[in-house]
Amino acid sequence: MRRSRKVKILATLGPASSDEAMIRKLFEAGADVFRINMSHTDHPTMETLVGRIRSVEQAVGRPIGILADLQGPKLRVGKFAAGSVTLEIGQSFTLDNDPTPGDATRVHLPHPEILASVKPGHRLLIDDGRLQLLAEGGDGQSIACRVVAGNKISDKKGVSLPDTELPVGALTEKDRKDLDAVLATGVDWIALSFIQRPEDLAEARKVARGRALLMSKIEKPQAVTRLAEIIELSDALMVARGDLGVEMPIEAVPGIQKQITRAARRAGKPVVVATQMLESMITAPVPTRAEVSDVSIAVFEGADAIMLSAESAAGQYPAEAVSMMNKIAERVERDPTYPGIINAQRTEPEATGADAISLASRQIAETLRLSAIVTYTASGTTGLRAARERPQVPIIALSPVVETARRLSLVWGCHCVVTPDATDLDDMVDRACRIAHSEAFGSPGDRVIVTAGVPLRTPGATNMLRIAYIGSDGLRGL
């Protein structure tokens, strides 16, 4: 099954989309990668979902990626004697280490790291910012605050700290158990929540040991500040606009989205735009015009993937949401302004032979109007370099490693095919022509460009470029 677009669609699975028939329906509607949210999924359910995705993968004959999204540290206040209290703007309110149920003057905060780290002038946002407190002082055991916005707080509401860097890693004890469980099932990507600094990736990378790639979710101001360092140590990024819009001024999020997307593209790292893209389709069969515009902006920006959350996980119209996102993406990529916008954001290649080959293959393919760029890739690096160029022609990524093909299913423009390794250079070119023909990217008489590393099976050594005709039998023509 060939997609008619280059941007990928990432669909979250949940109560509305957990059976195998619906997963296949979502794939046929346009989903390229499936997300399992470990905030709401236990290990047996996760294992069942992975098994069903792999069953669909086998049935459709296409590599499908799986992203396991770890919950990360969830910071919450304790309970109130009455369940909730109403506050007044300007009044004092204290967060402390006393587990006694709270009242209109104080509440338990069961996170000593917050009590020790918050300084006067720092903001504390409760319940997604519906209540805003300003810290005025603290002694490590409590934080004296003043209410600056909102007037209600209730049991177990979340706490966001836009001004405070906490001295804790991104992995909680739950995350460590979840990480071990998802790695054992062979998922392809791990999303790490609430990354603050590059060091937050170290523990997960040590545990993963290359069995899955790491995606950093950018949802805190501290991560935006150290974006370049985080990109360098990440395999991919996600613009997690939900929490980002809580911890930063909501009007700043569109600009930050563009900054992150462009920085990831320059680095050649995949980037996903996520959260509330077609939010109204949770309960409605069609999106709002503003949501359509929102999705289109991410596609015009050249994001690798766009993501559905509750729309596909718990909404009333999961398949329709995926289909609508697919239609929007296809229409944007056919727009006459699309190539110019994508080209204007292109960055200079790095001074390496592999990057030079990828640049040359794009220029030649576009100049000669070739049918496709066919790239052999064992590790996925060559496919990523080809995608970084954002060529106007399709990219066919051939790999003998099914895990590589699954990982590249997230990457812009990559049509992934699992194929046995070529025996020699002639076999490589023949195989490239045959697959381009069989996958409907070219007809007899059309030309493709083939990139690979010679000698064969040398990871990361892309140094060969060939132009080949597709013959009448689908093999290389003379």
Residues carrying an active site annotation: 35, 76, 217, 275
Distance between CA 400 and CA 423 in Å, rounded?
12
Tell me the residue type at 58.
Q
Backbone angles phi, psi at 242, to 5 degrees: -65, -65
Backbone angles phi, psi at 312, to 5 degrees: -100, -20
Backbone angles phi, psi at 120, to 5 degrees: -55, 135
Cβ(215)–Cβ(191) below 8 Å: yes
Distance between CA 310 and CA 302 in Å, rounded?
23
Cβ(12)–Cβ(277) below 8 Å: no
Relative to beta strand 33-37, strand 65-69 is parallel
- Picking from 277, 357, 347, 358, the residue whose alpha carbon sits closest to that of residue 312 is 277
Ramachandran category for residue 73: left, alpha or beta (phi over 0 → left; psi -120 to 50 → alpha): beta
Q: Give the distance, in angstroms, between the CA of residue 216 and the centroid of all CA atoms in the same chain.
A: 8
Cβ(441)–Cβ(394) below 8 Å: yes
